Amino acid sequence: MTEVQFIQQVRVLDAVTQSDRTADVLVQDGVVTEVAPSITVIPARAEMLDGQGKVLLPGLVDLYSHSGEPGHEPRETLESLLAAGQAGGFTRLGILPDTEPAIDHPAMVEKLLQRREAPADGARALPQLYPWGALTQGAQGQQMTELAELAEAAIAGFADGRAIQNSLLTQRLLQYLRPLGKPVALYSCDRTLRDSGVAREGPFSLIYGLVGDPASSETAALAALLECVAETGTPVHLMRLSTARGVDLVRQAKERGLPVTASTTWMHLLWSAKDLGGYDPNLRLSPPLGNPEDQAALIEGVKTGVVDAIAIDHTPHTYEDKTVGFPSAPPGAIGLELALGILWDTFVAKGDWSPLRLIQAISTNPAGCWGQTPPTIQAQQPAEMVLFDPVATWTVSPATLRSLSSNTPWLGKAISGRVLRTWVPPR
């Protein structure tokens, strides 16, 4: 039986066409058949969806997040991860390879994709899964994987998700990877400079008595990586940008014509080291939250396009994992179900960013970083989109989250913005 949805008088946003308009939208069997100011011929069997006060936007694309499965299923299974992505409006999810075992062989890629197809209920609505293939064996940064063999698998590209400490290995990887034509994502962090730091070095790390991680732990490694990119010419995506100086380095690299894109995480846009006075272990991140000037530079970087994309870097941990002192807590927080509403409320509703800028950073550009066609809302295109209510409020709790983990600083708090429906094209 044909499935038909009619969305009446909804605000349609599309960063691909740079359009922001009110329209009726008709969807039949997963295809947008018409977008018009007013649609008068509506199939009798159509499911009617009221668009008043709602926003219809392209499906969200997350470049990198973490799965608990395989190896740490109490934190997150693939099924719960995909359900969390669906609830948050994500239609494409990139999964980092630092699972146990790591995604460092074609057989692991195939196993993950087969597991993704397992859920029967609403399987068509679950996000499409894009595993990253590990650059190094076990994603440990020591010895490169069989890159050419892994490139033949259905991977999004190559990444470890962890910082590679050997610059010679990084250079060799970029040399070998260039002819393979796959996206490459690298995280810049000099662990020697970081030492035992748990908070970005500055006035707030001193005030709160937390061991400082200097900005140079990011920027020294980033500068070295950019020199490798300049020498090899291999395009690279720069993950987890977190400092003002890092934004400057990326801007300069782009002005030099280096083939780089960059992303920061949504948490680094919303919090800074100034917020660590409560020692909330859910604000223990890697890289650590920047100082206020870092946060301001990242926000401006997204606004101007120097920072191409916002990643969620969803990192689930159990209650027991995080119920320790701040310095001992494992880094990371969840975010797939929370990011759209909180980013919209913080930056769009208050007028700092246009809605199209947010969509570009969390949908259009991430797809472009993968070399994929971005989601768009146009007639005769697959329905890959999200119906979103920017003013609906809900309370974040283990009962309202699809994720198995609830490690977030918003736990127990009411937030604005909720996804009402997500359309995902079948694979």
pLDDT band at 335 (very low <50, low <70, confident <90, very high): very high
Over range 299-323, report the average pLDDT. 97
Give the per-residue pLDDT at 426. 81
pLDDT interval class at 124 (50, 70, 90) = low
The CATH class of 59-375+392-412 is: alpha beta
- The confidence score (pLDDT) of residue 122 equals 45
What per-residue confidence (pLDDT) applies to 1? 64
Judged against a pLDDT cut of 80, whether residue 141 lies above it is answered with: yes
> pLDDT digits over 337-386, tens only?
999 999 999 999 999 999 999 999 999 999 999 999 999 999 999 999 99
Active site residues: 313
Residue 121 reports pLDDT greater than 90: no
How do residues 172-187 score in pLDDT, each as one tens digit? Answer: 999 999 999 999 999 9
* Residue 119 pLDDT level (bands cut at 50, 70, 90): very low
Neighbours of 261 (CB within 10 A): 20
Averaged pLDDT, 308-319 = 98
* pLDDT score of 114: 87
- Mean pLDDT for 207-225 is 98
Judged against a pLDDT cut of 60, whether residue 270 lies above it is answered with: yes
Mean pLDDT of the chain: 96
33 has pLDDT over 50:
yes
**pLDDT greater than 80 at residue 261:** yes
Domain borders along the chain are 59-375+392-412
Residue 118 predicted with pLDDT over 70: no
Q: Is the pTM of this model over 0.75?
A: yes
